[in-house]
Amino acid sequence: MSKKNPLDLGTVIDALYAGEINFSITVLWDGGMMVKLGDELNGFLVEQECRNAFEAAEFLDAAARQHFPESSYVLGREDWKQRTDPSEERHKNN
């Protein structure tokens, strides 16, 4: 992601939540943030220490795109629905 147009962490969090992708952010007042994709129950796929919210947003975005390329987070809600709901395709062709 370009430094001129950084991702907003709140926007990324909302989109990951809507896409049902689990993640964790732990804020360490003197050490930045520990950001993880996944959860304690199913395991974490990847983690990284980030210095600020912009780095956390970029990390989560890139990790979600790498590990969940077929998710609604990556494809967008409508494209994802069309790929996962066979009845959507039938309705379009009728």
pLDDT tens per residue across span 43-64: 999 999 999 999 999 999 999 9
DSSP single-letter state for residue 70: T
pLDDT tens per residue across span 12-40: 999 999 999 999 999 988 889 999 999 99
Strands of the chain, DSSP E = 23-28, 32-39, 43-50
Return the pLDDT at 2. Answer: 45
Residue 90 pLDDT exceeds 50? no
pTM over 0.85: no
End-to-end CA distance of the chain: 41
Q: Where are the domains of the chain?
A: 9-93
Does residue 5 or residue 60 have the better pLDDT? 60
